[in-house]
Amino acid sequence: MSGTTQPATLYPVPAEFASQARIGSRAAYDELVASAQADYPGYWAKHARDLLTWHKPFTKSLDESQAPFFKWFEDGELNASYNCLDRHVEAGLGDKVAIIFESDDGIVTKVTYKELLGRVSRLANALKTQGVQKGDRVVLYLPMSVDGVIAMQACARIGATHSVVFGGFSAQSLRDRIEDAGAVLVITADEQKRGGKNLPLKAIVDEAIALGGCDSVKQVLVVRRTGGSIPFVEGRDAWLEDVCAKESDVCAPEWVSAEHPLFLLYTSGSTGKPKGVQHSTGGYLLHATLTTQWTFDLRPDDVFWCTADIGWVTGHTYVTYGPLSCGGTQVVFEGVPTYPDAARFWRMIEAHKVSIFYTAPTAIRALIKAAETNADVHPRQFNLTSLRLLGTVGEPINPAAWEWYHREIGAGKCPIVDTFWQTETGGHMITPLPGAHALTPGSCTLPFPGIDAAVVDETGKEVPWGQGGVLVVRKPWPSMIRTIWNDPERFKKSYYPADYNGKYYLAGDGAIRDAETGYFTITGRIDDVLNVSGHRMGTMEIESALVSHPLVAEAAVVGRPDDLTGEAICAFVVLKRSRPTGDEAKQLATVLRNHVGTEIGPIAKPKDIRFGDNLPKTRSGKIMRRLLRVIAKGDAVTQDTSTLENPAILDQLAQSN
Ligand code: PRX
């Protein structure tokens, strides 16, 4: 992102959109912001009462007594699955389609709210029969599927805490998460289908458990997806359909405190192993519901499609919880945007008459590239007139991709909501409300009403508009991370460090506000976290994976800009033997890339691996990552290198590409 302070092009709110939108003007937005300022706990309490169905009403909105471990609506009781399913069926919407599922191979299945409730209840009963209790953790390692949504909802129904692990993570990563969460049960599938290929899942669960440390796991339930033959461990493994067949399709929801942990989701930080971000039930569900209504302006007759996998937070909030809590109809897609060809998204929008479409900038960039070289997959070949709103998430969107998305997909008439948020924030933090905000390509515009985001300097003082700084949130909000599972100290250190004032939530991103409009632009992470294709990864994790290979003495990982994936992973490696060159270097790079794939997962494989005799270090032995970033980008090093122990290494690394 440019971080420019020049007023960029503003796209006014289309009058037709504004006239029907829930928040239909800038004045309406300003009013909401003012009402949140006037009575902050009261503002959230009002929405929590209006939008959620409580079994027992709460008496207190925000409890700050143990800050930064904030609590919201704590003495209130509710159930997330009841809010997503039962209340719609009770309101007469049982026959409404909740999910339009399209498989990788193009088979479409529709599931109504009534059917979904029955299937969730059966699985919830099955989990209880297996001995899963309120508060137990259940790990889900599943394809993008109706079963995935059902498994999450079934856990919520009985008060078990789910932890979904993305199906692209390796056995080692899965093992680490199972162990840290202390999961009692794992739900997986025999295989998953992606891009025409069958990929193993159950086999990876077996491998993960065999690695050790997973003694807490008593049961593995397996969804039959491809029907491939897979070995079962006697007494531990069972087909999910078999155990569900024995159960009733009625299951009373377990009422839990609003603070009860709904889920853990592991995400990367700048240090150490991935952290288990713990979310609450009430505050989280409130924000999932409210943002679905205001940011996406979801209506009863909309067809909503969020393309994110349930393995990421976007798939939690805007597939499993937000749209269902609002009683919406949504598309769930098993496959990938480029199979059978790069028109898959456009064909599906046409076929299912999608009206709200939410995806990642990386996907848009890849599809632009495909459309530019092959007219058959150009969106203009398809009827996309059902669309009324577009959205992006996960990484900055470059203005050129924004303009294309707006023009070619949205026919110049659909607003684009560029939603900034994080695994830790639970839902949108800075985002346009499409009926209220004129848009600037590349800017996520203004904070969601009630979110007190600011750009500050190291002391926590707000910087003037037009000046870059660090993004913080000054007040707690209902859907915020509650803690890091098993590690409250790390929670405090990571998000409420003593610098930046100690009382503000530190997002880990830099930001700048436009000098005229005050609109926010996210300038990227300020820590050692990379964002590759919208997937978040810690450089330390990748470094640890590299040095766990017997040939590697030392490794440093940095990001470099990439036109397609936003950022690309670049690793500098010192071997325990002499530095390889030519073909040997290429072969070894492949070996190490695959090793990282085995340790973490294919998404973490470095794009570049460069070998050196050593790494640029200060005299005190600190690796100079700043210089490695310059080299990775292909730029000449112009910085002062006099503090380096070994300046000559820079030339070697620069030439080692
Ligand atoms: O750097 C920001 C970037 O993604 C990070 C959060 O990643 P994760 O927890 O995996 O959640 C992604 C989906 C919510 C942020 O710290 N990011 C997310 N959305 C945007 C963004 N960067 C710029 N613009 C966005 N809209």
Please provide the DSSP assignment of 127-186 as one string. HHHTT--TT-EEEEE--SSHHHHHHHHHHHHHTPEEEE--TTS-HHHHHHHHHHHT-SEE
CA atoms of 279 and 11, how far apart (whole Å): 36
Write down the mean pLDDT value for the chain.
96
Q: Of the given ranges (44-48, 269-273, 312-316, 539-543), which has the lowest mean pLDDT?
A: 269-273
- The predicted pLDDT at position 271 comes to 78
Give the mean model confidence (pLDDT) for residues 68-87: 98
Q: List Cβ neighbours of 417 (8 Å cut-off, separation of 6 or more).
A: 295, 296, 358, 389, 390, 391, 392, 431, 432, 433, 434
Tokens in use for 496? 């409420």
Q: Is pLDDT above 80 for 1?
A: no
- Which amino acid residue places its CA nearest to atom 14 of ligand 1? 422
Structure tokens at 9: 């092009």
pLDDT band at 8 (very low <50, low <70, confident <90, very high): low
Evaluate if residue 7 carries a pLDDT over 70.
no
Is residue 5 pLDDT above 50, yes or no? no
**Mean pLDDT for the stretch of residues 352-357:** 98
Count CA atoms closer than 13 A to 415's CA, side-chain side: 28
Which amino acid is residue 227, in one-letter code?
Answer: G
Q: Ligand 1, from 531, 532, 533, 567: best to mutate by most atoms within 8 Å of Cβ?
A: 531
421 Cα nearest atom in ligand 1 = 14
Query: Given this model, what pLDDT does residue 655 score?
Result: 86
Beta carbon of 313 within 6 Å of any ligand 1 atom: yes
Distance (Å) from CA 108 to ligand 1 centroid:
31
pLDDT at 4 over 80: no
In a 3-state reduction of DSSP, which class is residue 557? Answer: strand
> Ligand 1 within 6 A of 398 CB?
no
In which band, very low, low, confident or very high, does the pLDDT at 229 lie, cut at 50, 70 and 90? confident
Question: For residue 308, which atom of ligand 1 is closest to its CA?
Answer: 13
* C-alpha to C-alpha distance for 547 and 545, rounded to whole angstroms: 6
Query: Residue 586, by phi and psi: left (phi above 0), alpha (psi -120 to 50) or beta?
Result: alpha
288: DSSP letter? H
Across the range 557-572, mean pLDDT stands at: 95
Residue among 509, 521, 525, 532 whose CB has most ligand 1 atoms within 8 A, to mutate:
509
Asked if pLDDT for residue 646 goes beyond 90, the answer is no
Residue 419 Cα to ligand 1 middle (Å): 8
Q: Is 219 in the pocket of ligand 1 (CB under 6 A)?
A: no
Longest dimension (CA), the chain: 73
Q: What is the per-residue pLDDT across 13-36, written as a single tens digit (0 to 9) for each?
A: 999 999 999 999 999 999 999 999
Q: Which residue is it, tokens 């209880």?
A: 128
Residue 399's H or E segment, with its range, is: helix 399-404
Nearest residue by C-alpha to atom 21 in ligand 1: 395
**What pLDDT does residue 157 have?**
98
- If you write DSSP's letter for every residue of 307-338 in order, what string do you get? ---TTSHHHIIIIIIHHHHTT-EEEEE-S-TT
What average pLDDT score do residues 553-571 get?
95
Q: What is the mean pLDDT of residues 237-257?
A: 98
pLDDT above 50 for 2: no
Q: What is the pLDDT of residues 156-214, one digit of tens each?
A: 999 999 999 999 999 999 999 999 999 999 999 999 999 999 999 999 999 999 999 99
**Confidence band (pLDDT; 50, 70, 90) for 6?**
very low
For the chain, give the percent of residues with pLDDT over 70.
Answer: 99
141 CB near ligand 1 (under 6 Å): no
Angle between helices 582-599 and 539-547 (to 10 degrees): 110
Position 222 pLDDT exceeds 60: yes
Is residue 555 a contact partner of residue 546, using CB atoms and an 8 Å limit? yes
**Does ligand 1 lie within 6 Å of residue 423's CB atom?**
yes
Annotate 27-86 with DSSP letters as a single string: HHHHHHHHHHHHSHHHHHHHHHHHHS--SB--S-SEE-TTTTS-EESTT-EE-HHIIIII
Ligand 1: atom nearest CA of 507 is 16
Q: Is the CB of 395 under 6 A from ligand 1?
A: yes
509 lines ligand 1 (CB under 6 A): yes
The number of the ligand 1 atom at minimal distance from the alpha carbon of 444 is 26
pLDDT in tens, 92-149: 999 999 999 999 999 999 999 999 999 999 999 999 999 999 999 999 999 999 999 9
Averaged pLDDT for residues 548-561: 96
Looking at per-residue pLDDT, the higher value among 6 and 598 belongs to 598
Question: Token digits for 611?
Answer: 């070998």
Return the ligand 1 atom nearest residue 418 CA. Answer: 26
Residue nearest atom 24 in ligand 1 by C-alpha distance: 396
Residue 394 has pLDDT above 80, yes or no: yes
Give the nearest ligand 1 atom to 529 CA. Answer: 1
Give the tens place of pLDDT for each residue, 439-497.
999 999 999 999 999 999 989 999 999 999 999 999 999 999 999 999 999 999 999 99
Phi and psi angles of residue 26, each rounded to the nearest 5 degrees, phi first? -65, -35
Mutate to test the pocket of ligand 1, among 423, 430, 532, 536 (most ligand atoms within 8 A of CB): 536
For 291-330, what is each residue's pLDDT tens digit? 999 999 999 999 999 999 999 999 999 999 999 999 999 9
Separation of alpha carbons 316 and 321, rounded Å: 6
Contact 362, 336 (CB under 8 A): no
Mean pLDDT of the 528-539 span: 92
Point out the ligand 1 atom lying closest to the alpha carbon of residue 430: 26
Concatenated DSSP letters of 439-471: B-TT--BSBPTT--EEEE-TTSPBPPTTS-EEE
